[in-house]
Chain A
Amino acid sequence: MIDLARSMLRTAGVAALAGVLAAGAPQAWAQKTLKFIPQADLRSIDPIWTTAYITRNHGYMVYDTLFALDDKFNPQPQMVDRYTISPDQLKYSFTLRDGLKWHDGAPVRAADCIASLKRWEKRDPQGQKLADFTASMEVVDDKSFTITLKEPFALVLDSLAKLSSNTPFMMPERIANTDAFQQITDATGSGPFKFVKEEWVPGNKAVYVKNTDYVPRKEPPSYAAGGKVVKVDRVEWLYVPDASTASAALAAGEVDFYEQPPVDLLPVLEKNKDIVVANIDPQGSQGVLRFNFKNPPFNNVKAREALLYLVDQSDYMRAVAGDPKNWQACPSVYACGTPMSTKQGSEVLTGKRDVAKAKALLKEAGYNGEKVVVLSATDQPIVNNQVLVTLELLRQAGVNAEMKATDWGTMITLRNMKDPIDKGGWNIFHTWVVAPDTATPLLNNALRANGDGAWFGWPDDPAIEKLRDAWLRAPNLEAQKKIAADLQVEAYSFVPYVPTGQFILPSAYRKNLDGVIIAPVTFLWNIDKK
């Protein structure tokens, strides 16, 4: 009966609309268009100027990289055809693939690549490290260039294949010569899609069309590596700020792919037979509880250690990601599932939770009921939900904890402040980091412990820094793993931060999509719309 009513209503409605709307119907779009709701609004088109993940994803659409990581986290040639490393490990020689062209038709030259690397090195920490080890970068001919090192650095190819922000995307020299602190205005790349700037409406829509000149590699896609074969003519990124509306649009078939539906809407989407809900990001993200080392009580290691006895990652992950299939407890400071991940030294976090021990440690640290400020961004559920758990744990341990609730834009400004609490300072903030950004001692910013030069909170531990330096100079993977494990042991002793677990945010897409790539970044090549 309900179906009959619905059918009648639909017929009547269609007839009424057809009668009312006398204007001619637009021509049917003959091309294949993939309609995609991205995780955020595309606000900047310069993936070197900003670290925003949405701009990184835009970068993967428009630009190409010299190397790219595969699903084993090994760097594979992408724009590079062949390369050699000198026996003394000091000279890397690269030759570009045939047929590489910029979107304006000009050929990709070695000089473009060197200019792009130089701009990237000014903004990216891994790039800066590569620059520290580099003696020179020189053009050999239009298709070849060399990087000569001052001393061996095992991470040259890994750096060129950096998966997440800032990714070393290649740009034409005329664009790459832009000051690294100035935004570019021209999105000419050599990647599999071309950006249609005229159709860009920030806050609403970004449009890409297939780059018909792009020559994909022959290998199958694997993370960012392999062939980037584009199977649709046009991709529209439609920013839909309201999650319920976005889910409804997917259910109604108005869009094909919803990158990050909120966890509370997943059960609804899972019930829809036309929709696939899948984890396309194998590692996901790690939650972070960060201390401020400038203010008591967490300038004392005993107080930080107390948190290791309080934090139960499953509490945090239930609050952030809900269903246990979307999260895992992961005590490793390197994202679980990445080559460096280890459990070494983390027993204190995985053992029995002990509030009494935490209270005793806080007392040893000299804590005497002073106000403890936890920053929160209420417009970011992943942050705010972690904060609520932390507040509860701190109160259980007798801490006079208070939440300073703001929005994300304010919170990331407040966390810059080194002031004491009575002048607006803070003690703890929460955030989350995607797995590729916590995969190594070099990439994990929260592990830096170089005082005022460190990430917000400014921990100072020469032992961590020494191990990090040793890791950078490790000759091979085995040596890297050993040092990374030692560094984790030191991290659990010094406690620069507490990992609160590892979670994934599943994606949802229509069943008629085929070829969705499983990777930490959402790539839109290889996807066909049947």
Chain B
Amino acid sequence: MFAFLIRRILATIPVMGVVALFVFSLLYLSPGDPAVVIGGDTATPADIAHIREKLGLDRPFLVQFGTWLWNVVRGDLGISIFTNLPVSRLILQRVEPTIALTVCTLIVTIAVAIPMGVIAAWKVGTWIDRLVMAFAVLGFSFPVFVTGYLLIFGLSIWADLLPVQGYVSIANGLRAFLPNMVLPSLALGMVYTALIARITRASMLEVLSQDYIRTAHSKGLGTSQVLLGHALKNASVPIVTTIGIGLALLISGVVVTESVFAIPGLGRLTVDAILRRDYPIIQGVILVFSAAYVLVNLLIDVCYTFLDPRIRY
């Protein structure tokens, strides 16, 4: 297992290198010039050329890429063109809200989706099953921003229970932190709840039709023991895989939720940087996302060994 972990971690290095080269090339070739954005309407061509020179954008591709790569190897992700702040600082500012939103959403999702999926599989074909499936279809069909607006209207404007927007660091205490997390976690969690409930149900149905489940019933085990002790554990590999994919998506793909609830996370940092061509931020964030994807996948692979003893590396 240890050798496997080392191998997998080392394998991330070429993966990240390819990602870095791909992103750098893509940005180099795409239209858009930060010097023009900075120069504004009154800038002359000479001004723009001067800004490009100051930013090092006038240098050849390979020189720019080489310089950037060398700095990354030394742990320096560069300086944001617009804010003039270190990219590492900007990313660190955004990591906490992103992780907070991811964890809260996962808690909501797992707490709701797995029981729903298990119950739906247990009561397959009944109105409970159909209700769960109807929720799953609805949850999947509703765009996050629609759910978000409805929650804001219902729980913030109408009921005056929760704040509309913003993020308060957990360092300010749970009482300050949690109210701002409820609505975004519910809005974002609805999609993932729907997804995981469906996967749980499907996986459970497959397991529940196995002989050993019938044997467990024959031995006189109670329903909850059969469902949770025997069936759920054996059905958990695809569920964990889906949760893992969801986790990776949550880290990078929650820009809509972050925008609707004004949460300063990594998704918004990326989109804002793309819109204004802040290349160092885009490159830095994508490297971080790539690393997160690779590590999450590794974590999932390790989890398999605990859930299914037949899996060995």
Contact = CB atoms under 8 A, between A and B. Distances in A.
Given A13-B159, A202-B85, A254-B166, A182 B37 contact: no
Contacts of B82: 43-44, 202
A6 B158 contact: yes
A21 B93 contact: no
13 contacts: A13-B155, A17-B161, A21-B178, A23-B174, A44-B84, A203-B264, A203-B269, A238-B166, A238-B262, A248-B164, A409-B32, A416-B36, A452-B45
Interface of A: 6, 9-10, 13-14, 17, 20-26, 41, 43-46, 49-52, 123-125, 165-166, 179, 181-183, 185, 201-205, 238-242, 244-246, 248-249, 251-252, 254, 379, 406-410, 412-414, 416, 431, 433, 437, 445, 452-453, 455
A482 B178 CA distance: 64
Given A44-B82, A203-B268, A252-B156, A21 B260 contact: no
Given A245-B259, A252-B157, A431-B41, 16 more contacts: A6-B159, A45-B84, A52-B40, A125-B42, A185-B84, A245-B148, A245-B165, A246-B165, A249-B164, A406-B31, A409-B276, A409-B277, A412-B36, A416-B45, A453-B44, A455-B41
Given A9-B159, A409-B37, A51 B42 contact: yes
A409 B161 contact: no
Given A203-B268, A252-B163, A50 B38 contact: yes
Interface string B155-183: 11111111111110000111110110000
Nearest to B31: A410
Nearest to A123: B47
Interface in B11-56: 31-33, 36-45, 47-48, 50-51, 54
Given A21-B174, A409-B32, A409-B277, A254 B259 contact: no
Contact of B54 (A181, A244, A249, A413): A181
Given A21-B174, A185-B84, A245 B260 contact: yes
A413 B32 CA distance: 5
Contacts of B159: 6, 9-10, 13
B54 A182 contact: yes
Contact of A51 (B31, B40, B145, B152): B40
Interface of B is mostly: helix
B255 to A, nearest CB: 10
A123 B48 CA distance: 11
A445 B260 CA distance: 37
B142 to A, nearest CB: 16
A-B residue pairs, 3 tightest by C-beta? A51-B40, A204-B264, A13-B161
A244 B149 contact: yes
B240 interface: no
Contacts of A49: 38
Contacts of A125: 42
A201 B54 contact: no
Contacts of B41: 51, 431, 433, 437, 445, 455
A24 B178 CA distance: 13
B275 interface: yes
Give the interface centre of A25, A245, A414 by most chain B CB atoms within 10 Å.
A245
A398 to B, nearest CB: 30
B99 interface: no
Contacts, number: 159
Give the interface centre of A24, A25, A185, A413 by most chain B CB atoms within 10 Å.
A413
Given A202-B90, A445-B41, A245 B262 contact: yes
B166 A17 contact: no
B218 interface: no
B276 A43 contact: yes
B37 to A, nearest CB: 6
Contact of A241 (B36, B153, B155, B262): B262
B210 interface: no
Contacts of B155: 13
B165 A248 contact: yes
B209 interface: no
A50 B40 contact: yes
Contacts of A21: 174-175, 178-179
Nearest to B163: A254
Interface in B74-123: 80, 82-85, 90, 93
B308 interface: no
A202 B275 CA distance: 14
Contacts of B39: 51
A453 B44 CA distance: 7
B83 A43 contact: yes
A240 B264 CA distance: 10
B120 to A, nearest CB: 27
B82 to A, nearest CB: 4
B58 interface: no
B206 interface: no
B261 interface: yes
Given A17-B179, A203-B269, A254-B164, A248 B31 contact: no
A235 to B, nearest CB: 16
Contacts of A407: 275
Contacts of B275: 379, 407-409
Given A51-B42, A179-B54, A10 B161 contact: yes
B164 A252 contact: yes
B262 A239 contact: yes
Contact of A44 (B36, B83, B162, B173): B83
Nearest to B97: A204
A46 B179 CA distance: 36
B83 A24 contact: no
Contacts of B48: 416
B183 to A, nearest CB: 10
